[in-house]
Amino acid sequence: MKLVDCARVIRSKNAGPTTLTLDLMFEDDAGFRQALASPSLTPAALAPLYGVPEADVDVVPYAPAFAIKIVLPRKVIAGAPGDRDVYGAQQHGPLLGVEL
């Protein structure tokens, strides 16, 4: 199953000028648990998708909201020359192809 078929929300946003967060929200505990258990959503699997070191990727589950937050560094500081997404709102794209 693809993540897009399981998650109700897949979005990205800045968490400051140097950090990006990816939010995954699920309808129920079953979908949340399935995603959380998937090897596709580990730092080791996510780091290559975003071209960052594995040690810089944090996966933070929040069970009361059936949500997972992924935190990683931005490659370019928000608003700096070369930044194509100052708000970080278009960075969730690589997650759309993830298979759980």
- Which residue's structure tokens are 């992924």? 70
What distance in Å separates the CA atoms of residue 67 and residue 26, rounded to the nearest whole number? 6
The band of 96, judged by pLDDT with boundaries at 50, 70 and 90, is very high
Domain boundaries, the chain: 3-75
What distance in Å separates the CA atoms of residue 98 and residue 100, rounded to the nearest whole number? 6
The reported pLDDT for the residue numbered 22 is 98
pTM of the complete model: 0.93
The mean per-residue pLDDT over the stretch 57-79 comes to 97
Cβ-Cβ contacts under 8 Å for 18 (sequence gap 6 or more): 73, 74, 77, 78
The mean per-residue pLDDT over the stretch 5-27 comes to 97
The band of 9, judged by pLDDT with boundaries at 50, 70 and 90, is very high
What distance in Å separates the CA atoms of residue 71 and residue 64, rounded to the nearest whole number? 19
CATH match of 3-75 with 3.40.1440: no
The reported pLDDT for the residue numbered 70 is 98
Do you know the residue count of the chain?
100
What distance in Å separates the CA atoms of residue 36 and residue 31, rounded to the nearest whole number? 8
The reported pLDDT for the residue numbered 64 is 97
The mean per-residue pLDDT over the stretch 47-69 comes to 97
Encode pLDDT of 19-35 as tens digits: 999 999 999 999 999 99
Average pLDDT, the chain: 96
